[in-house]
Amino acid sequence: MLPLPRPALDARAVYLTCVSVARPASLRTELHQLGDQVANAAAAYEEAATKGELHTLDALQHQPGGKPSRTAKKDEPKGINYHLKTTYTSRMVSAEGKGRPFYNQLLAAAPDGRCTLCGQGLADTLDHQLPKDVYPLLAVTPDNLVPACRTCNTNKRDEAPVTAEEQTLHPYFDTDIDEYIWLVARVTGPGLPAVTFHADPPPSMPPVLAARVRHHFTSLQLARTYGPQAAPELRTLSRSLTRLTPAAISEHLNEKAEDWTEEQPNSWQAALYRALAASSWYVRDFSSGL
């Protein structure tokens, strides 16, 4: 995950801008009158997210229209929750939407254009940390929208957390996550090496945060994301190491581990090079000319 400063956007202002073009006029008026509720929901979200307690926002679920009926027919009139959700899809995401500048601003904040959830993919969409289908009042709340790649957005799905441990990491609020080294790589050999990635929080990490780290890693399928990216790195590295002396191999691996850990402590690159530098068989085999 890539920590990111919170958006400098006012939730009420964003919402009212988005709904200012809603049609017909009666719907626009109805949506405009929900401005206070949206602002209050955003404030409750901020307080809960700061404490790592987004799972406690049960009172906001399916508000203000209530949980949809399973027996509802397709031709029935759409309720207010539907129109709150389409405020995002039609008035923020749409290229012609009144709220599109906010969408672009949130997306442009992605570090180096990368997904803030996996740290690797192209950030080409916004992910709702709490799903808009369950929390329609938060559909365009800036704090609830983080730059993400489509793979992470899809893998995360639309499930709302029920417990503290079921929350994925939040780029805007879990900004101290890199104070801990929790992503590790395991290199197997001897012979041509293979690498796998795992979430392994240190004992010093608070238990709930450690559980969230594991949930984040598993639900976003990050092992599957990082493995294919590490494979070509290993192959090209293996070729380059054959040109170094035994002493230089160990020094090179340690330097790469230090550089990547400083750049992004819980990136797959940092985890890979830490594992290689600590692997006696890997250094030994390449020192002897694998």
Per-residue pLDDT tens over the stretch 48-102: 999 999 999 999 999 999 988 776 566 567 899 999 999 999 999 999 999 999 9
Structural domain range at position 51: 11-163
Q: Position of tokens 């709702």?
A: 128
What DSSP element (H or E) covers 133? none
Measured CA distances, 222 to 32, 83, 210 (Å): 40, 34, 16
Q: What per-residue confidence (pLDDT) applies to 236?
A: 87
Helices (H), 140-289: 150-156, 207-219, 222-241, 246-263, 268-277, 280-287
pTM: 0.93
How many domains does one find in the chain? 2
Q: Rounded distance, CA 231 to CA 233, Å?
A: 5
Asked if residue 145 and residue 15 are part of one domain, the reply reads yes
Is residue 212 within 8 A of residue 169, CB to CB? The reply is yes
Is residue 170 within 8 A of residue 254, CB to CB? The reply is no
Asked if residue 250 and residue 199 are part of one domain, the reply reads yes
Torsion angles phi and psi, residue 137, rounded to 5: -65, -20
pLDDT, tens digit (0-9, with 9 covering 90-100), for 26-48: 999 999 999 999 999 999 999 99
Asked if residue 183 and residue 280 are part of one domain, the reply reads yes
